Structure formats: structure tokens, C-alpha cells
Amino acid sequence: MWVIDTDSLNREATAMLGLPLDADLSSPEIFRSIYWSQPPEDLYCVVAVQPYRMNERLTIQQGVFLCANHGLFPFERCLANVLAHASRSNQPSAQWLHKIPVAAEARADVLRHLDRINISSATLFPGLDGFCRSLQLSVQIREADGWPGVSLAADREEWVKGV
């Protein structure tokens, strides 16, 4: 799982690209100027933008997209370039990006804790698809907890009907 400080990332990218500090990086005009031109090599970066068009899932997830401004360079290279630019400017870019490893054996615990704070497939993906994913994860969590009747595939259908 990755965590990124999008505000700091965007401030640095705005400075790199020579845009005004209050520039709306998600506006169609600025988005086109960033992504439809080929920047000099030292200006490859990643910017967090709000989607131009929203749908139910994006609204619920409060989603943003991390977009690299050059399609031929790998995303990681563009992200590394903006972080390196910040470091050269004595910005604390090492604090902007964190990887949180989740061990496979901790999956059930993590999903259980997320569910307790109402983050599940059902809440992130509204509709039947999200509900079904959520139900499947619920069964997997109960399997990991060793609930009676869930661990045997033959009993699983009866258990789900009883939920």
C-alpha cells in the first residue's frame, strides 16, 4: 500500500513547471499544457489531479489520479524526478511518499479493521458488484477466524444463506 502527500507533490510540480502557485492543475487548460507538450528532460514529473468527469465510484472514493507528464517515460522515473527536484531545493520530499507493506498473513486483520471504519468493497464500489466482493471478503475473514461451518466449502453456501 502506498501513501503520498499530494499537496506537497503538486506544490513542487507547480514550481518545477513554472506555473503560478494557485494554478488549478486539474483544469482542462492547464492539464493540456502539462500533458500535451513534451517537457525538457529535467521537467518530467507527476501531478495529482481531480478527474474532469466524476462518477459515483470516484465521488465515494474521493479519488485523485497521479499522472506523469510524459507518456514515454515510466511513471516511477517521473515520480523520482519530482522528488529529486524537491530534495535539491531542500524540501522534505522523503516524507511525501511511504510504502506500507502488508504481509499476506495480515490480510484478514487489515480487511477486518477497514470494515470496522466502513471501508469495504460495498462502500467503495457501489452496486451489486461491490456488494458481492464485500460478501466474498466477509466469508474469507470468517474463514481466517475459524468460524464453524465456513471453512468447509460444502457448508459455505448454507452459511451465506443464513447471513
Q: DSSP label at 64?
A: -
Residue 23 three-state SS: coil
Tell me the C-alpha distance between 6 and 26, whole Å: 13
Residue 24 has pLDDT above 80, yes or no: yes
> CA of 98: how far to CAs of 11, 49, 67, 127, in Å?
18, 19, 18, 32
Letter for the amino acid at 69?
A: N
* Domain range annotation of the chain: 2-99, 104-162
pLDDT tens digits, one per residue of 103-149: 888 888 888 888 888 888 888 788 888 888 888 888 777 777 776 55
Contact 17, 34 (CB under 8 A): yes
